[in-house]
């Protein structure tokens, strides 16, 4: 296989595997570039995420259609859920637009920061996963507006590479009474407007940089992220219900620690 097509394929698979896991897909993609030379322009990382997002639409198509139908017919739960999703997305959208250049500049170029966030975030996720908690909310359609806003504020942390969007929202939800399964499912739904917005914004800002070659790379990464993301979404909730988030926490700790050792000991 041509090396030029191999890199976006591998990165697309990595994106699909990690987008919905609390391990930071952006952090993994950036580290793959730093340590293994698997690099693509910054816009590529954001643009292929739409493939993973469309995986949610595919898996949750029936639920989405039902929600839209019930909202149009005036059912209160559907409007309440729509408000919850909006409240959970607004803080990160505002911060993402205001800090876009800083995030994709200095922060994306610091492997030490990314590895540190993976390590610290893994420890936090492990602690929260094992904490004795009283579950108050087990149905995403019953999340109150203030819980959605709290989750949205936690989601702002994920603008730092290595923190993880799903990881930050899961931790925020669980700390304030959500069950593990519902916390994971809610992150699926709030990913839709967040990532579609990020896709549109980066596509607009990068419109002059995308030529035929870049478009082909994006298409390959997009397709790989879609296929692998669909598999992850289909099985993730059952996995979380059975095993919790500890396996992902340990993965973060191992990757973050290994990355820091490589940087400081081996000078990578």
Supply the Cα-derived Rg of the chain in whole angstroms.
18
Query: What global pTM score does this model have?
Result: 0.89
Give per-residue burial for 82-106: e unless 16+ CB within 10 Å, then b.
eebbbbbbbbbbebbeeeeeebbee
pLDDT tens, position by position, 234-257: 999 999 999 999 999 999 999 999
| pLDDT value at 97 more than 70 | yes
- pLDDT score for 41: 72
| pLDDT value at 101 more than 90 | no
Between 93 and 1, where is the model more confident? 93
- pLDDT score for 2: 46
**Which SS3 state, helix, strand or coil, does residue 137 take?**
strand
| pLDDT value at 92 more than 80 | yes
pLDDT tens, position by position, 141-197: 999 999 999 999 999 999 999 999 999 999 999 999 999 999 999 999 998 888 888
The total number of structural domains that make up the chain: 1
pLDDT tens, position by position, 45-65: 777 888 888 888 899 999 999
- pLDDT score for 196: 83
Please, are residues 253 and 119 in contact by the beta-carbon 8 Å criterion?
yes
Between 133 and 27, where is the model more confident? 27
The domain of 259 spans 3-264
């Amino acid at each position: 296989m041509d090396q030029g097509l191999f890199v976006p394929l591998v990165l697309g698979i990595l994106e699909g595997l990690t987008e919905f896991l609390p391990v930071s897909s952006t952090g993994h993609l950036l580290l793959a570039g730093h340590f293994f030379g698997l690099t693509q322009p910054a816009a590529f990382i954001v643009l292929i995420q739409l493939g993973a997002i469309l995986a949610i639409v595919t898996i949750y198509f029936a639920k989405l259609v039902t929600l839209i139908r019930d909202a149009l017919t005036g059912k209160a739960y559907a409007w309440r859920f729509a408000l919850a999703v909006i409240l959970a997305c607004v803080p990160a959208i505002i911060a993402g637009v205001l800090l876009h250049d800083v995030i994709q500049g200095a922060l994306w170029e610091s492997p030490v920061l990314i590895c540190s966030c993976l390590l610290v975030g893994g420890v936090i996720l492990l602690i929260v996963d094992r904490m004795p908690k009283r579950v108050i909310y087990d149905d995403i359609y019953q999340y109150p507006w203030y819980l959605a806003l709290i989750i949205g504020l936690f989601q702002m942390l994920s603008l730092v590479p290595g923190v993880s969007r799903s990881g930050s929202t899961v931790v925020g939800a669980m700390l304030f009474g959500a069950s593990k399964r519902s916390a994971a499912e809610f992150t699926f739904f709030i990913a839709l407007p967040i990532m579609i917005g990020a896709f549109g914004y980066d596509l607009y800002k990068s419109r002059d940089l995308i030529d035929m070659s870049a478009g082909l790379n994006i298409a390959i990464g997009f397709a790989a992220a879609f296929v692998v993301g669909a598999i992850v979404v289909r099985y993730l909730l059952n996995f979380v219900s059975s095993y919790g988030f500890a396996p992902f926490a340990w993965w973060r700790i191992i990757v973050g620690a290994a990355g820091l050792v490589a940087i400081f000991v081996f000078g990578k």
